[in-house]
């Protein structure tokens, strides 16, 4: 769970054995790993993750779930071995739980005093901040799409020859 020399940084999901149909008609049980690099525990034995770390953890955990519930006939099309948009959809949906008050009440503690629950007034601030950031990201994606269209079309929506 914690950083060490030679270990990859951050949180990530790694499929080890993909789901696939076996020759006997059954399904291969998939196996995936969630690689984590949480900060070392504080003096009280608690690990405190910041919002970005929790968001990434939820995102990568959704990839693990995607791998584990796969029932594809072929390993090539199993788990997250699908179109990128579909591979990311469950993870992006899982990220929405990070600012859910009910979820935070269960998993989070007050950083100033880990014996106390996460302050719910901060949840409202997190949601407002997240909504604002989401709108900025939407505008960024629209700008990138416009650039892409300008580069790859003749301006009338038709591909350049």
Which pLDDT tens digit goes with each residue over 7-43?
Answer: 888 899 999 998 898 899 898 999 999 998 887 776 6
Record the tokens describing residue 12, joined without a space. Answer: 């990530």
Contact 119, 112 (CB under 8 A): no
Q: Write down the pTM of the prediction.
A: 0.73
- Active-site residue 156, yes or no? no
Query: What is the average pLDDT across 117-144?
Result: 84
Nearest alpha carbon to residue 52 among 8, 92, 98, 119: 98
Give per-residue pLDDT as tens, 58-79. Answer: 999 999 999 998 887 888 888 8
Which entry of 13, 60, 83, 137 is annotated as an active-site residue?
60
pLDDT of residue 43: 66
Q: Is 136 helix (H, G, I), strand (E, B) or coil?
A: helix
Record the tokens describing residue 133, joined without a space. Answer: 């950031």
CATH number of 12-117: 3.40.390.10
């Amino acid at each position: 769970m914690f950083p060490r020399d030679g270990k990859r940084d951050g949180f990530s999901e790694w499929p080890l054995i993909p789901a696939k149909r076996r020759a006997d008609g059954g399904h291969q049980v998939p196996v995936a790993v969630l690689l984590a690099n949480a900060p070392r525990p504080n003096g009280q034995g608690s690990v405190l993750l910041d919002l970005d770390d929790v968001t990434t953890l939820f995102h990568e955990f959704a990839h693990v779930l995607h791998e584990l519930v796969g029932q594809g006939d072929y390993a090539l099309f199993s788990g997250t071995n699908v179109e990128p948009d579909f591979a990311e959809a469950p993870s992006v949906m899982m990220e929405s739980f990070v600012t859910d008050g009910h979820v935070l009440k269960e998993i989070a503690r007050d950083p100033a005093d880990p014996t106390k629950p996460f302050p719910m007034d901060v949840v409202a601030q997190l949601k407002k901040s997240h909504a604002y950031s989401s709108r900025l990201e939407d505008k960024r994606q629209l700008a990138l799409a416009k650039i892409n269209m300008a580069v790859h079309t003749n301006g009338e929506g038709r591909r350049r020859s």
